[in-house]
Amino acid sequence: MWGLLRRRSPSGFSPSSTAEEVTAGIDGSGLVALITGASSGIGAETCRVLVMRGVHVVMGVRNLSAGACVRDEILKQVPSAKIDILNLDLSSMSSVRRFAENFKALNLPLNILINNAGVCFVPFKLSEDGIELHFATNHVGHFLLTDLLIEKMKVTAIESGKEGRVVMVASVSYSFSYRGGIRFDKINDESGFLAYGQSKLANILHSNLLSSHLKEQDAKVIVNSLHPGAVATNILHHWCPLYGAIRAIGKYFVKGVEQGAATVCYVALHPQVAGVTGKYFSDCNITELKSHALDRDLAKRLWDFSLSLIR
């Protein structure tokens, strides 16, 4: 794979490391992970690899049929796999609330929450709640889901004696959000490019401030965000002029899902991340953020605005 040469790094992993490689030898037995967007792309690969390591996975998916296909394929590889599937449309707050109730009805603990699902470069559209679709799906849906489940994670951490982990899948595209000024309350980008970048910035700001809140509460739950790398998945299908070309030649320039899911699985499961919180990872290593992604005042304004939307 072009450009993905192995190199020395603090974690010992590189852009070409796969999710299987970064979790080799890790026993996830007894852990329960919830993964949004687990029916395709890096979400499906994350589900497969965590299940291989003994984790009980709950898939949050918009398409139940696609989710069932992923589960069936995993069961062929790992017959003993523990996988549940629940319907989840992150663009709809009512769907997120139903999902949270359905998850709680399973009477499972929750050790790991992976906020992975997202839309990318969708033409301007409002969700059923009247919110720009990127912001509604990528940020507000995950903000609400995390808010509804964080107490269960804190209780699980206490009862199990195992640190809880919240994983926010963001993107390097957050850096583009600054070009047009940051206005989460007014997004009308027709191309979806700026809107996507701002939703990814929101993921990082949410992660950073949630991490701070949990530290103040002395909760045994860490929160980190990450960039999975450039991965040719169907999240780009709305970007019609380039999608076909990316799918055709992408394997020569970008990661496959096996590499794309590596940092997600690393942050979710690896012992090296124990106790590390409020950080941003890329290629399984901590990476410095741009200044606006570290802006605490902006993070507080986003938090208050997000609360006003979900309450």
Write out the catalytic residue numbers: 196
Backbone φ, ψ for residue 120 (5° rounding): -140, 125
Q: Which residue has the tokens 């912001």?
A: 135
How far is it, in rounded angstroms, from Cα 214 to Cα 28? 23
The pair of three-digit structure tokens given for residue 286, joined into one six-digit string: 């901590």
d(CA 191, CA 19): 32
**C-alpha–C-alpha distance, residues 61 and 259, integer Å:** 22
Side by side, the strands of the sheet bearing 112-115 are 83-87, 56-61, 32-36, 112-115, 164-169, 221-227, 280-282, 285-286
Q: Calculate the alpha carbon distances from 135 to 31, 39, 110, 122, 299 in Å.
A: 30, 21, 25, 11, 15
Interior angle at CA 22, CA 19 and CA 28, nearest 5: 85
The helix/strand/coil state of 126 is strand
Nearest alpha carbon to residue 14 among 282, 307, 308: 282
- CA dist 132 to 12, 121, 169, 187, 272, Å? 40, 12, 19, 7, 37
**Structure tokens, 66:** 């696609």
DSSP strands (E only) in the chain: 32-36, 56-61, 83-87, 112-115, 164-169, 221-227, 280-282, 285-286
